[in-house]
Amino acid sequence: MWALCIGALLIISITHWVYRWRNPRCDGKLPPGSMGWPLLGETLQFFTPNTTHDIAPFIKERMERYGPIFRTSLVGRPVVVSTDPDFSHLIFQQEGHLVESWYPDTFTEIFGRQNVGSLHGIMYRYLKNMVLYLFGPESLKKMLPEIEEVAIQRLKQWSNQDKVEVKDATASMIFHLTAKKLISHDSDSSPENLRANFDAFIKGLISFPLNMPGTAYHKCLQGREKAMRMLKNLMQERQATPKKHRSDFFDYVLEELQKEGTLLTEAIALDLMFVLLFASFETTSLALTLAIKFLSDHPRVLKQLTEEHEAILRKRDDATPGLSWKEYKLMTYTFQFINETVRLANIVPGIFRRALRDIQFKGYTIPAGWAVVACPPAVHLNPMKYEDPLSFDPERWEGIEVNGASKHFMAFGGGMRFCVGTDFTKVQMAVFLHCLVTKYRWQIIKGGNIVRTPGLQFPDGFHIQLMKKDGLNLEDA
């Protein structure tokens, strides 16, 4: 008898728990949607791979069923997903008031609990100003010749190889430059393969968060641990020895760390260096790989881009050894090309925030504490804003100046947290494209197919053969 009573109570408790999970409390009207299975939510569906440039099936199916704002549950948290340009723009503008930056626990385990994306208010603004010391326009003007020289050297090396895997090669090129600027690490001569740790990290960054040996997520955490150990050792070495005129970003960070009354801690400093090393090369190399794929698929675009850059060379004074900042700013079609590439790339599938208090929008209530995910792909592929949104057409940006985020373009985030590395990414891409199209031609060997899980990947790579253009002497280039 007692066993039957206990069993009945257990069933009632589980039934009540499942009901409460699927019907969360709210002082208002929740957006429509499904919370999926208890605890698991709809996480498995969210991570289901797809091979399209279109909006991910997980998002598209729910947009059609529930509308532009819907609720779900991911990795154990209630989430409201926004594909509404007005609502996404609102949450970017209301940072610190209605919402704050937030990422799932799995992300903070990977990036560090005191990474720049998880900090708020004065601390975030302090770190942002530090990063602008390295990636701001004045610093980029001085860095431009070095960026061009690295691109020239790497392209020349690749032209002597039978084939090049573009994603890996561009990532290596950018990591070489940024690791040198950040920590004076020379990837060509150092016995420590620092980037290999980040490769392991990247494979599990946007994967199902199962921390068991053999899983991508477990390897990701191991890659972070090794990279952080290397950075901590480097910090201790520099703190123990006098400055050797390196003048890299790490020295600047350590100087800030030693100032009286500083807001910086060693843990925050190490997480900052880790995030910068990763963010500086991974997303840009993905964008460059897709850019070369688009140029291969659209000869007319390649022709127009080449004409712009050859015109720069023709107008240049013979006494000028390389690209100037003035020439860079005149790359009108190149910027259109970059905008169109990142619009379709949608490298970041979702931008996370957390509601600080109940948010009222279009009759719906988003409860305080819930996650809010802005979905850039839905904004960038909106047929009401972009005619034939899946077609690659740089000319759609003609006459449109994009210096920040807007309701209809959020490839680099928005609001107070607009990516501080945006200008660095654009300079890297523009300079590389200049060196590529003026000196080389190429043919595809294999690969180039994409998979989104939900982040962008090239599972088979993208292999090309790079050849110098006929009649061009690269020794003099």
Q: Chain-centre distance of CA 352, in angstroms?
A: 13
Strand-pair partners of 317:
none
Amino acid 188: pLDDT: 63
Q: Summarize pLDDT for 149-203 with one digit per residue, the tens.
A: 999 999 999 999 999 999 999 999 998 898 888 888 776 665 466 776 666 566 6
Q: Which structure tokens are listed for 171?
A: 């990532």
**Residues annotated within a binding site:** 419
Interior CA angle at 287 toward 135 and 423, to 5°?
Answer: 20
Q: Summarize pLDDT for 146-155 with one digit per residue, the tens.
A: 999 999 999 9
> Range of 77's domain?
24-53+64-106+348-380
Residue 28 falls inside a structural domain: yes
Classify the phi-psi angles of 24: left when phi > 0, otherwise alpha if psi is within -120 to 50, otherwise beta. beta
Burial per residue of 278-307, b for 16 or more beta-carbon CB atoms within 10 angstroms, e otherwise: bbbbbbbbbbbbbbbbbbbebeebbebbbe
Residue 142 falls inside a structural domain: no
Q: Answer with the residue of higher pLDDT: 464 or 115.
A: 464
Q: Summarize pLDDT for 299-312 with one digit per residue, the tens.
A: 999 999 999 999 99
Report the alpha-carbon distance of residue 279 to residue 272 in Å, rounded.
10
For a pLDDT cut of 70, what percent of the chain falls above it? 82
Report the alpha-carbon distance of residue 366 to residue 343 in Å, rounded.
28
Q: Summarize pLDDT for 288-302 with one digit per residue, the tens.
A: 999 999 999 999 999
Residue 198 falls inside a structural domain: no
Residue 339 falls inside a structural domain: no
- The three-state DSSP-derived secondary structure of 373-393 is EECHHHHHCCCCCCCCCCCCC
Question: Sign of torsion, CA 229 231 236 237?
Answer: positive
Residue 436 falls inside a structural domain: no
- Checking if the pLDDT of 397 tops 80, the result is yes
Report the alpha-carbon distance of residue 370 to residue 26 in Å, rounded.
11
Q: Name residues whose C-beta falls within 8 Å of residue 162's C-beta, 6 or more positions apart in sequence.
A: 465
Interior CA angle at 93 toward 92 and 99, to 5°?
Answer: 65
Amino acid 476: pLDDT: 47
Residue 218 falls inside a structural domain: no
- Checking if the pLDDT of 20 tops 70, the result is no
Amino acid 454: pLDDT: 82
Q: Which structure tokens are listed for 92?
A: 């970017």
Length of the chain counted residue by residue: 477
Amino acid 19: pLDDT: 55
Of 99, 30, 42, the residue nearest 66 (C-alpha): 30
Amino acid 432: pLDDT: 97
Report the alpha-carbon distance of residue 108 to residue 439 in Å, rounded.
43
Amino acid 43: pLDDT: 85
Q: What is the mean pLDDT of residues 345-352?
A: 88
Q: Chain-centre distance of CA 288, in angstroms?
A: 13
Distances (CA, A) of 313 to 319, 434, 468, 475: 12, 10, 17, 17
**Residues annotated within a binding site for heme:** 419
Q: Summarize pLDDT for 203-259 with one digit per residue, the tens.
A: 666 566 667 776 777 777 777 788 888 888 888 888 887 666 567 888 888 888 888
Pick the most confident of 94-98, 279-283, 324-328: 324-328
The 8-class DSSP code of residue 187 comes to T
- Checking if the pLDDT of 119 tops 60, the result is no
Report the alpha-carbon distance of residue 431 to residue 336 in Å, rounded.
14
Q: Answer with the residue of higher pLDDT: 406 or 48.
A: 48
Task: Give the pTM.
Answer: 0.89
Amino acid 234: pLDDT: 84
Q: Answer with the residue of higher pLDDT: 323 or 15.
A: 323
Number of domains in the chain: 1
pLDDT bucket at 399, cuts 50 / 70 / 90: confident
Task: State the DSSP string of 90-117.
Answer: HHHHTBTTTEEE---HHHHHHH-TT-GG
Residue 132 falls inside a structural domain: no
Report the alpha-carbon distance of residue 269 to residue 254 in Å, rounded.
8
Is the distance from CB of 350 to CB of 79 less than 8 angstroms?
no
Is the distance from CB of 355 to CB of 416 less than 8 angstroms?
no
Q: Domain with 38 in it: what CATH number?
A: 3.30.43.20
Amino acid 441: pLDDT: 95
Of 79, 39, 77, 30, the residue nearest 59 (C-alpha): 79
Q: Answer with the residue of higher pLDDT: 263 or 146.
A: 146
Angle between helices 194-203 and 266-279 (to 10 degrees): 80
**Mean pLDDT of the chain, nearest integer:** 84
Amino acid 281: pLDDT: 79
Residue 355 falls inside a structural domain: yes
Report the alpha-carbon distance of residue 15 to residue 192 in Å, rounded.
55
